[in-house]
A and B are shown apart, each in its own frame.
Chain A
């Protein structure tokens, strides 16, 4: 029973084990006892549930663990499947990719493009989300769906056409603009449902107290929206960090971002698995940190709007 002891305020039932019967009784839902065989099964059920959850977690975690392990293996060990997770680690892979500078510059580029595109997107999208959320502008809001539905390549063609004619391909400006195509709709999407959840009375009260409409937004609503904005921005940054397709077209050698550098790395050094895994691990560390530290917010951001559509 131990893995599934329910300590929440919710009333424990079926999965909660033996206490379920007591709970049902306390709830005054009737004196009908639960079927006898059920009680026995629930005990095993809780164990099974714990084991199943643990197994699934391992399945999802193992490939990532494997990646980090491979980053610390020699090139002989990497391609020897009998070397599992027990081996004496080496830092050679990291040393070599850092010495050649193959990954540091792209990481800098990704950081720059990610931060700038996320900040600009937040500046554009948060006020717009407020307007859409506050005034129930469903039709304007559904414009965002267009951005989610349209294949990004159908924008790449005209962007490429126009930016190439303007001689801007390869510049940071184009990378930032293209990454905003993902982050503006994402931040809008998350923040609309966030603002819909904030009580309008606060702003009304601020208005009565003499603040202008913008003042009410700036001084009252925006500070309250800080957690939502942080979540949305974090996700926007991660998706910019991961974005492959835009940089594949718009970045040149000088401005290439991490995924493109990694992709080029495969073609140059298809056998240097250790280096590839070290580079992959290095660019995954920020994401891991975000996941561990901001799990609650990231989950909320990823799933926001889902139960409303």
Chain B
């Protein structure tokens, strides 16, 4: 195999016409220290040759340094053009009075939009409150239920495959379809949910038809849709845990709850933290279900209007691009804050 390498190296050698390079090239290929001479020798050709021979590919990383950037370039270009540039654009818009037609002129108004948003107790602050309530309620329930279900499913059982298949269906089904489906199930007069409630002797509910019950109902729909995600994430974490500590605890006479609380839960910490962050970020940004079930503005009394729905309405219903950008900037900061907080509170991880 070494000869094959030699052949390719000497083939490229011809372009430089430097005989000493041959030796250097071979040495470089074998990772020898003499590779330095290639750099030193005056005839060692142009930059093209340097990449392959000038630097000793002592390690895998050095050999692929160029390739690395070539492979990254398209993705970086995409991220730059489609994500970073638009974000800067939004940030810029947030300091302007952009409004109405997209090609209308705009003036810089300083921090006015931010002041307007932060001083708005009719739409902005209630939206913040709903976002927080929705996220905390949904994520806490999903974590508790998801963890319980993951513990149930931890040991293999017959039919596990099918249970997991059922669990991924809610997460993969189109959220708009799920929203419509729940509208049917929860229909105040004709839905199966109220039929079941009344047959159990419970009073029928308004669900999405009422101002006060909309947000809690949507939270429960979110719980139905995303608890499986929590379960699967935690289940993946549980299967990687070593068994010895639990066995030791068992031998020491620890009960089921004690083993869970003092052995499994601490070990599961990092997975739990990651799952919590992922879920919280997605819950904060929930849009499809809210918009599909309650429409623009989150309903007649804005009862399901979270920050995301509010920003959407500002942009595309009111064309208040400047104010919308300011709200989005604040929203993004808020999400980043939540991520930092969750990472700190749930313990630092090596990653």
* Closest partner residue, chain A, to B221 (CB atom): A63
Which chain B residues border A303 with CB–CB below 8 Å? 232-233, 235-236
Contact between B76 and A128, CB atoms less than 8 A apart: yes
Q: Contact at A135–B64, with CB atoms within 8 Å?
A: yes
Chain A neighbourhood of B202, CB < 8 A: none
Min CB distance, B172 to chain A, in Å?
5
A-side interface residues, number (CB < 8 Å): 121
Query: Which of B41-49, B114-122, B210-218, B283-291 is found at the contact surface with chain A?
Result: B283-291
- Chain B residue nearest in CB terms to A284: B173
Does A132 have its Cβ within 8 Å of any Cβ on chain B? Answer: yes
B86 in the interface, Cβ–Cβ < 8 Å?
A: yes
Q: Which residue of B lies closest to A4 (CB)?
A: B157
Q: How far is the CA of A143 from the CA of B80 in the complex (A)?
A: 10
| Interfacial chain B residues near A159, Cβ < 8 Å | 82, 86
Contacts of B178 in A (CB 8 A): 63
**B187 within 8 Å of A (CB atoms):** yes
**Which residues in B have their C-beta under 8 angstroms from that of A153?**
287, 308, 311-312, 315, 324, 328
| Of B4, B184, B311, the contact of A273 (CB 8 Å cutoff) | B184
Known: A70-B184, A241-B174, A306-B236. A150 touches B83 (CB 8 A): yes
Bound-complex Cα distance A181 to B87 (A): 13
Q: For the complex, is B40 an interface residue (Cβ under 8 Å from A)?
A: no
Does B79 lie within 8 Å of A180, measured CB to CB? no
Task: Closest A residue to B192 by CB, please name it.
Answer: A81
Q: For residue B228, which residue of chain A has the nearest CB?
A: A60
Give which listed residue, B232, B311, B349, contacts A302 with CB less than 8 A: B232
B72-106 vs A: 1/0 string, CB under 8 Å?
A: 10111011001101110110010000000011000
Minimum C-beta distance from A64 to chain B (A): 6
The reply to whether A30 and B251 form a contact with Cβ atoms under 8 Å apart is: yes
- Contact residues of B between 152 and 178, Cβ < 8 Å to A: 152-159, 161-178
Chain A residue contacts of B85, Cβ below 8 A: 158
**A157 near B153: Cβ-Cβ < 8 Å:** no
Knowing A15-B154, A29-B247, the reply to whether A287 touches B184 (Cβ < 8 A) is no
Contact A158-B86, Cβ < 8 Å, known A53-B163, A208-B5 = yes
Q: Are B63 and A213 touching (Cβ within 8 A)? A: yes
Q: Which of A117-164 contact B (CB under 8 A)?
A: 123-125, 127-128, 130-132, 134-135, 137, 140, 143, 146-162, 164
Q: Chain A nearest CB: distance from B341 CB in Å? A: 13
In the complex, chain B residues 5-19 whose Cβ is within 8 Å of any chain A Cβ: 5, 8
- Residue B281 is within 8 A (CB to CB) of chain A in the complex: yes
Those of B307-351 within 8 Å (CB) of chain A? 307-308, 311-312, 315-316, 321, 324-325, 328-329, 331-332, 335-336, 339, 349, 351
Cβ–Cβ < 8 Å partners of A127 in chain B: 71-72, 74-75
Are B185 and A66 touching (Cβ within 8 A)? yes
A151 touches B335 (CB 8 A): yes
Closest B residue to A304 by CB, please name it: B236
Q: Is residue B274 contacting chain A, with contact meaning CB distance below 8 A?
A: yes
Are B288 and A259 interface neighbours, CB within 8 A? Answer: yes
Taking a contact as CB atoms under 8 Å apart, the answer to whether B315 and A157 are in contact is: yes
Please, what's the 1-or-0 string for B229-264, where 1 marks a CB less than 8 Å from any CB in chain A?
Answer: 100110111001001001110110101100100000
Q: Is B1 an interface residue (CB 8 A)?
A: yes
Chain A residues contacting B351 (CB-CB under 8 Å) are: 308-309
Q: Specify which chain A residues have a CB less than 8 angstroms from the CB of B89 in the assembled complex.
A: 157-158, 161-162
Flag if B237 contacts A306 (CB, 8 Å): yes
Q: Is the CB of B166 within 8 A of A61?
A: yes
Residue of B nearest to A60 (CB): B166
Using a CB-CB cutoff of 8 Å, which residues 203-219 of chain A contact chain B?
203-204, 207-210, 213-214, 217
**Listed stretches A89-97, A225-233, A291-299; interface member:** A291-299
Residues of chain A within 8 A (CB-CB) of B235 are 303
Q: Write the chain B residue with the least CB distance to A181.
A: B82
Given contacts A157-B321, A280-B181, contact A259 B174 (CB under 8 A): yes
Tell me the complex Cα distance, A155–B86, Å: 6
Q: What is the CB-to-nearest-CB distance from A69 to chain B, in angstroms, rounded to a whole number?
A: 10
Known A-B contacts A4-B155, A153-B308, A153-B312; the reply to A128 vs B250 at CB < 8 A is no
Contacts of B63 in A (CB 8 A): 207, 213
Measured between alpha carbons, how far is A245 from B289 in the docked complex, in Å?
Answer: 11
Q: Is the CB of B86 within 8 A of A135?
A: no
A186 interfacial by beta-carbon distance below 8 Å: no
Cβ of A151 and Cβ of B311 under 8 Å apart?
Answer: yes
Which A residues are in CB contact (< 8 Å) with B229?
302
| CA distance in complex: A137, B71 (Å) | 13
Report if A155-B87 is in contact (Cβ < 8 Å); known contacts: A262-B177, A292-B165: yes
- Answer whether residue A82 sits at the interface, using C-beta atoms and an 8 A cutoff: yes
Residue pair A290, B172 in contact (C-beta under 8 Å): yes
Chain A residues at the B interface, C-beta cutoff of 8 Å: 2-8, 10-16, 24, 27, 29-30, 32, 34-35, 38, 49-50, 52-53, 56-57, 59-61, 63-64, 66-67, 70, 78-82, 123-125, 127-128, 130-132, 134-135, 137, 140, 143, 146-162, 164-165, 177, 180-181, 184, 188, 200, 203-204, 207-210, 213-214, 217, 238, 241-242, 244-245, 248-249, 258-259, 262-263, 266, 273, 276-277, 280, 283-284, 287-288, 290-292, 295-296, 298-299, 302-303, 306-309
Q: What are 27 pairs between A and B in contact, CB < 8 Å?
A: A3-B157, A13-B246, A14-B155, A14-B250, A24-B251, A60-B170, A66-B192, A80-B190, A123-B74, A154-B87, A155-B83, A162-B86, A177-B82, A180-B82, A213-B67, A244-B175, A245-B312, A280-B180, A283-B177, A284-B177, A288-B169, A295-B168, A302-B168, A303-B236, A307-B236, A307-B237, A309-B351
A155-B86, A238-B172 are known contacts; what are 19 more A-B pairs with Cβ within 8 Å? Answer: A14-B250, A24-B247, A29-B248, A53-B157, A59-B224, A147-B83, A151-B311, A154-B325, A157-B89, A207-B57, A262-B180, A276-B180, A284-B177, A287-B174, A291-B168, A302-B168, A303-B232, A309-B270, A309-B273
